[in-house]
């Protein structure tokens, strides 16, 4: 019975450990705006903390290891984890990303002691290898369930602050249960009072501790001026929120703590939406449109103003955007347009499972330095897109200032032009004349009101010559073709040292650090 209890406790502690790690990744991704290094840094800090905790447990094992000691370490692991997360939103000058990674390691030190202590407590010295393997197996099973339940269920249905409270509560309950296995009634009573008192205090003050938590992580020192979000939505695909911007006069939508879009369809508005209206200069008469990424719905709503388009497919991975769009009457009209079909899926996966062909594929992609952006701008994905374009079809997407994205497009398509910070690529020439473009622009109507005619945006679009820049961009030797393997757009600053076959590892190390 004792060994079975140790197996179950090993599984439970593995569950909590992975739940804590996933929470740290979600929080730090939001804090940094989705830096690709976050997962590696959190994992490294976590493993360092576990290593230090394991080393510390060797000293703890010099004393008698009982359930009270194991319970105490689990108690401290849960409490320190909870309050550390609560504190990082209050002092942005102190808790910068590097210091938070150190905190992750410190918190994990307590977690790192638990597995060795359980092994020391529960293993029969006659069957060390077999018992250790069973304890380790159950720990891995618990960790698997911890990551799965936290990432796929809890984050889909609850806010991050509630999940932090759930994990704390589970840790305290488990700590109390372990202490009850002790045969020292006085110690158990003291521990029962300590855990019960801690839980009551936290339960009563949880909302105060985590008030405006996401806003503080996002705005940091500017929180006092910015204030709270207008609307927000949290699910397993990410955290999105809207906030009124006084400078632009429209509601801005943030995805993962980074600017996503603005709720505006006016071609002369503040969000540069004239770039979507530039479609009149890129294709003479596209019938079937694919939009990868819905965000505020402004770009899709702009497309619905024209009767030229017969079909508009939209692929969006985060269903939370739909809930936010419903708060904005003009934008929510996209749900009533019979031409618009919204698919909740990953863009690449969806394209790999459909035979649909399109005249025009639009992606208002996020910043090139964010995690996972490679999935949408790599040559591998562009080849997938190419297979879903009709003859003369165009892919048009945001470079966010990355010349490597344009270079990659030039390696896949025969013709490449730029409009603002967007790139348009096709195997057909871009030869839409002013008369055709002007006629196309006249089809954009909001009721009986012209959307483009008379606007400054259409003047800019028609006056833009759109020269083919493919040969010019390919002649440069300072750019990378982005692939799924090199993720150059995310890690370019260091990649160039790793792709020099004439450089030794020692030279690479010196150049890097």
- The first and second tokens of residue 231, run together, are 């609307």
What mean pLDDT value characterizes the chain? 91
Q: Are 343 and 350 in contact (CB under 8 A)?
A: yes
Q: Pick the closest to residue 69 from 80, 57, 78, 79 (CA basis).
A: 57
Cα separation, 286 vs 358, in Å, equals: 8
Give 306-352 as a DSSP string: BSS-SEEEEEES-THHHHHHTTSTTGGGGGT-TTEEEEES-HHHHHH
| Radius of gyration (C-alpha) of the chain in whole angstroms | 27
C-alpha distance from residue 27 to each of 151, 214, 221, 287 (Å) = 13, 9, 17, 42
Count of helix runs (H) and strand runs (E) in the chain: 23, 13
% of the chain at pLDDT higher than 70: 94
Cα separation, 22 vs 29, in Å, equals: 10
Q: What is the mean pLDDT of residues 476-505?
A: 70
Q: Pick the closest to residue 5 from 90, 76, 66 (CA basis).
A: 66
Residue, of 4 and 481, whose pLDDT is higher? 481
Whether the predicted pLDDT of 164 surpasses 90: yes
What does the pLDDT look like over 319-345, one tens digit per residue?
A: 999 999 999 999 999 999 999 999 999
What does the pLDDT look like over 67-110, one tens digit per residue?
A: 788 888 999 999 999 999 999 998 887 888 888 999 999 999 99
Cα separation, 352 vs 292, in Å, equals: 14
| Residue 509 binned pLDDT confidence (cut-offs 50, 70, 90) | very low
Cα separation, 11 vs 137, in Å, equals: 8
Whether the predicted pLDDT of 501 surpasses 70: no
What does the pLDDT look like over 396-420, one tens digit per residue?
A: 999 999 999 999 999 999 999 999 9
In this prediction, residue 95 carries a pLDDT of: 81
* pTM, full prediction: 0.90
Cα separation, 110 vs 286, in Å, equals: 60
Whether the predicted pLDDT of 492 surpasses 80: no
% of the chain at pLDDT higher than 90: 75
Q: What does residue 422 show for φ and ψ, rounded to 5 degrees?
A: -100, 155
- The first and second tokens of residue 348, run together, are 């690449």
């Amino acid at each position: 019975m004792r060994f079975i209890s140790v197996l179950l406790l090993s599984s439970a502690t593995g569950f909590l450990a992975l739940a804590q790690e996933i929470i740290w990744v979600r929080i730090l991704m939001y804090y940094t705006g989705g830096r690709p290094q976050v997962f590696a840094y959190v994992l490294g800090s976590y493993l360092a903390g576990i290593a230090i905790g394991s080393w510390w447990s060797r000293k703890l094992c010099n004393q008698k290891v009982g359930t009270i000691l194991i319970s105490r370490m689990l108690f401290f692991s849960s409490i320190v984890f909870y309050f550390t997360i609560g504190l990082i939103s209050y002092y942005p000058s102190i808790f910068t990303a590097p210091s938070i990674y150190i905190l992750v390691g410190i918190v994990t030190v307590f977690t790192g002691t638990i597995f060795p202590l359980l092994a020391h407590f529960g293993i029969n010295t006659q069957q060390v290898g077999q018992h250790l393997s069973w304890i380790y197996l159950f720990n891995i099973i618990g960790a698997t369930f911890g990551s799965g339940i936290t990432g796929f269920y809890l984050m889909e249905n609850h806010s991050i602050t509630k999940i932090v409270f759930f994990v704390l509560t589970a840790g305290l309950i488990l700590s109390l249960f372990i202490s009850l296995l002790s045969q020292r009634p006085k110690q158990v009573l003291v521990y029962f009072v300590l855990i019960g008192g801690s839980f009551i205090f936290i339960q009563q003050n949880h909302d105060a501790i985590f008030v405006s938590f996401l806003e503080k992580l996002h705005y940091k020192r500017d929180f006092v001026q910015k204030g709270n979000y207008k609307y927000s939505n949290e699910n397993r695909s990410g955290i999105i929120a809207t906030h009124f911007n006084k400078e632009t006069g429209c509601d801005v939508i943030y995805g993962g703590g980074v600017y996503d879009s603005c709720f505006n369809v006016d071609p002369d508005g503040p969000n540069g939406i004239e770039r979507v209206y530039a479609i009149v200069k890129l294709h003479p008469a596209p019938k079937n449109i694919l939009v990868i990424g819905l965000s505020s719905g402004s770009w899709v709503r702009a497309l619905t103003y024209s009767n030229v388009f017969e079909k508009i497919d939209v692929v969006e991975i985060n269903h939370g955007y739909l809930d936010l769009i419903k708060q904005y009457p003009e934008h929510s009209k996209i749900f009533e347009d019979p031409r618009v079909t919204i698919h909740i899926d990953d863009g690449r996966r969806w394209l790999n499972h459909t035979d649909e062909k399109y005249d025009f594929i639009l992606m208002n992609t996020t910043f090139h330095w964010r995690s996972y952006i490679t999935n949408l701008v790599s040559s591998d994905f562009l080849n997938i897109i190419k297979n879903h374009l009709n003859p003369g079809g165009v892919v048009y997407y945001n470079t966010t200032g990355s010349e490597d994205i344009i270079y990659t497009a030039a390696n896949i398509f025969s013709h490449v032009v730029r409009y603002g910070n967007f790139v348009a690529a096709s195997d057909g020439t871009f030869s839409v004349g002013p008369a055709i473009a002007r006629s196309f622009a006249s089809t954009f109507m909001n009721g009986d009101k012209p959307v483009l005619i008379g606007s400054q945006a259409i003047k800019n679009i028609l006056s833009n010559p759109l020269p083919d820049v493919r040969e010019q961009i390919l002649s440069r030797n300072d750019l990378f073709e982005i692939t799924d393997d090199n993720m150059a757009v995310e890690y370019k600053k260091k990649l160039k040292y790793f792709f020099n076959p004439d450089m030794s590892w020692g030279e690479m190390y010196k150049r890097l650090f």
